[in-house]
Amino acid sequence: MPNAKTDLLSLPPDEAEAALAEHFEARGQPSYRVRQVLTWMFEECVATIAEMTNLPAAERDALDAAFSFLEPTADTVSRSSDGTVKHLWRLADGELVESVLIPTPDRLTLCVSSQAGCAMGCTFCATGWAGFQRQLTAGEIVSQYRASRRWALDHGYGRISNIVYMGMGEPLSNREALHPSLTLLNRGYGVGARRITVSTVGVVPGILELAEREEQFRLAVSLHAPESELRSQLIPLEKRHSLEELMAALVQFDRAGGRRITFEYAMIRGINDAPHLAPQLADLASSLNAFVNLIPYNPIPYQDWKASRGQRIEEFRSVLEARGVSVAVRVPRGRDIDAACGQLRASRMASDSPPMPDSGKRLEAASAYAGKDPAETDLTNPGKRPE
């Protein structure tokens, strides 16, 4: 059988340079061919080797024979009335992943996926309800940036300024691909480390690994509850890595210096928005000088929860500010196009196929946890969620 091609888009810059140097040397080509290819890859972000037009046709063919240069194809492109754009990408094996472009007056942020689906099973997340399929490669992560960058420039959105690993998947459960993709984006494509944020629900070993890197990548923690018992009802990983263990890891991350920590807190009516939770959240945030994003809950398939009322969100914000915590209420973006993590993929899966075998049980469990009327019932301290 022929040897498998090397995925050129997955190689960190130094490894890509070495592989290309070996390739061109074996073909008796001048060394400047390496720089030509790297320029096409990292600066021009071409979609195919065939577009590297300053290489002779024979060299392009030889490159294509030795290296894979696969990018996802756009299955669906949805543009919101607020300018948010969601791409549903189809990978080479048919799996679907999402990325989202979020424009604001001073930046263009791209959210990328690190897994096809997610195994964390968080009760509030559309990705978790749709299940886990596989890990993405570093090239599949980075190619979302490459393709989105071209789309943004072609459609008048300008250059992508910030990248967040906050699409579908738990990045720190795919560290084999996460770390080379971070290196690629930072050193290859020139995205500053402080403009790249890794999101996690609390994978402690991954947080500690990220803290050891010399680049100052930022960290966003999906907290969603300041009490371990409540958090375990929302985030099953809490039972493996407790809030206490998570906070200890965040202290180490903070001590590495220059790396902002953000707490993400989805405000879910009657679930995690009881007034007594606000000062507890403030205590956790102030201990790390963390920034807090209060996020009105986005509805998902198979779940009937609602966003907290505006007055309650404002009460949380006021308590946090009074305690000296930097806080913002995230304005919902792209709701008309299912722009929240996993929503478009989950909607597509729901429409293309019958419910998953366990979806009925999961819906029943969620309904039992949420109560018959989450709009009016305060279940901030519910009993154990039925399995």
Which tens digits make up the pLDDT trace of 182-208?
A: 999 999 999 999 999 999 999 999 999
Least confidently predicted of 110-114, 233-237, 267-271, 336-340: 336-340
Radius of gyration of the chain (CA): 22
- 370 pLDDT band, cuts 50/70/90, is very low
Class for the domain spanning 73-370 = alpha beta
Return the pLDDT at 3: 58
Higher pLDDT, 370 or 87: 87
Return the pLDDT at 126: 74
- 212 pLDDT band, cuts 50/70/90, is very high
- 336 pLDDT band, cuts 50/70/90, is low
Would you say 206 and 191 are in contact if contact means Cβ atoms under 8 Å apart?
no
Where does the chain hold its CATH 3.20.20.70 domain(s)?
A: 73-370
Please identify every residue annotated as catalytic. 98, 341
To which residue do tokens 């720089």 refer? 35
**Number of C-beta neighbours around residue 341 at 10 A:** 23
How far is Cα 159 from Cα 148, in angstroms, rounded to an integer?
A: 10
Where does the chain hold its CATH 1.10.150.530 domain(s)?
A: 14-68
Per DSSP, the chain holds a count of helices (H) and strands (E) of 13, 14
pLDDT higher than 80, residue 306? yes
The secondary structure of the chain in percent helix, strand, coil, rounded to multiples of 5, reads 45, 20, 40
How far is Cα 257 from Cα 219, in angstroms, rounded to an integer?
A: 12
Exposure b/e, 211-228, CB count within 10 A at least 16 = b: beeeeebbbbbbbbbbbe
How far is Cα 24 from Cα 283, in angstroms, rounded to an integer?
A: 58
pLDDT higher than 60, residue 260? yes
Least confidently predicted of 40-49, 78-87, 128-137, 338-347: 338-347
For the chain, give the percent of residues with pLDDT over 90. Answer: 76
Return the pLDDT at 380: 33
pLDDT higher than 70, residue 124? yes
Would you say 262 and 293 are in contact if contact means Cβ atoms under 8 Å apart?
yes
Q: pTM here?
A: 0.85
Q: What is the CATH number of domain 14-68?
A: 1.10.150.530
- 343 pLDDT band, cuts 50/70/90, is low
